Structure 1
Amino acid sequence: MKQLLFLCTGNYYRSRYAEILFNELAPQAGLAWQAFSRGLEPDPRNAGPMSQHTMAALTRQAIKFDQHLRMPIRVTAADFELADHVVAVKEAEHRRMIEQGFAAWLPKVEFWHVHDVDCCGPEEALPHLDREVATLVERLKAAHTPA
């Protein structure tokens, strides 16, 4: 089983949503991949284990998330080592953080451009993540399908 690491700043909203959505879609696509998520700088002021926006979006899609309710986790070098692929959800926000703390792993990171709540609302960010995750699933499927 290959491992996919989703990164965001807090591991509370975007990366958690991407992780859970990917883990829902990957088996349906026949992928032997499992996602996990971490944060580059989790904020202890976040209320509870996961963003209410993430939980509401997953509920609307009838994706169960109870087993994913845990407090945000800060990324470590071991997480990068475990991952076969890494996605940071917003390059402008995360590239510098990765360069400063995990520079050796930078070539392994795919950067997306999904805004946090300081730049747009969940009604824009979460559908953007839906599209990015679906595209990633299709790319991985195509890469592992015999020609």
Structure 2
Amino acid sequence: MQTILFLCTGNYYRSRFAEHFFNHLARKQELNWRADSRGLALERGSKNIGAISHYAKSALAAHGIILTNQERYPQATLLEDFQKFTKIIAIDKSEHHSLMLERFPQWVENVEYWLVHDIDKTAANQALGEIEMNIMRIITELKN
């Protein structure tokens, strides 16, 4: 099984949506890939309530992906994660590159960076739509 790790700041909204959406599509396409997600700075998510953002839950539900009440809470990125996953994607280079330099400098160049801003800069539906497009592109690449 190949693995992909999605990173964002709080592991509450963008990376969690990416994880679930990727896994849903990978299962449908019968790909030998599985995603997980982590946060680079959980302490910055002090206003995050519950296990996962309601924006992420709603967008996933629109795709027929219903999460259980047992959904895990955000998890912090650990050094071991960079050794464990086949592919690692940080959702927003403008936000996450500096966090990578600060916390995991030896792994900065091993991460693919997208440019999907957080809710303070981009509306949730637009950001999640951009993540969807990026994931569909990845799924297509993995099928070929």
Report TM bin, short chain: over 0.9
Which portions of structure 1, spanning 4 or more consecutive aligned residues, are displaced by more than 3 angstroms?
none
SS at match of 1:66: coil
Residue 113 of structure 1 deviates from its aligned partner by 0.6
Gaps in structure 1 of 5+ consecutive residues: 143-147
User: Residues 131-146 of structure 1: matches in 2 within 5 Å?
Assistant: 131-142=133-144
Tell me, in whole angstroms, the C-alpha distance in 2 between the residues paired with 1:3 and 1:68: 22
Tell me, in whole angstroms, the C-alpha distance in 2 between the residues paired with 1:48 and 1:92: 26
**2:26 pairs with 1:26:** yes
Residue 80 of structure 1 deviates from its aligned partner by 1.2
Tell me, in whole angstroms, the C-alpha distance in 2 between the residues paired with 1:60 and 1:126: 12
- CA change 1:135–1:108 in 2 (3 A) is same
User: Residues 5-16 of structure 1: matches in 2 within 5 Å?
Assistant: 5-16=5-16
Tell me, in whole angstroms, the C-alpha distance in 2 between the residues paired with 1:68 and 1:35: 18
**2:68 pairs with 1:77:** no
| Structure 1 stretch displaced more, 70-79 or 6-15 | 70-79
Match of 1:98 in 2: 100
- CA change 1:68–1:94 in 2 (3 A) is farther
Tell me, in whole angstroms, the C-alpha distance in 1 between the residues paired with 2:125 and 2:67: 19
| Structure 1 stretch displaced more, 39-48 or 54-63 | 39-48
Gaps in structure 2 of 5+ consecutive residues: none
Per-residue CA shift, 1:33-74, capped at 9, x if unaligned? 110000001124311000000001111111122277111111
Structure-2-length-normalised TM-score: 0.93
Tell me, in whole angstroms, the C-alpha distance in 1 between the residues paired with 2:93 and 2:118: 12
- CA change 1:56–1:29 in 2 (3 A) is same
Match of 1:145 in 2: none
RMSD, aligned CA? 1.3
Q: Identity of counterpart residues, as a percentage?
A: 37
Which amino acid in 1 is paired with 2:32?
A
User: Residues 102-141 of structure 1: matches in 2 within 5 Å?
Assistant: 102-141=104-143
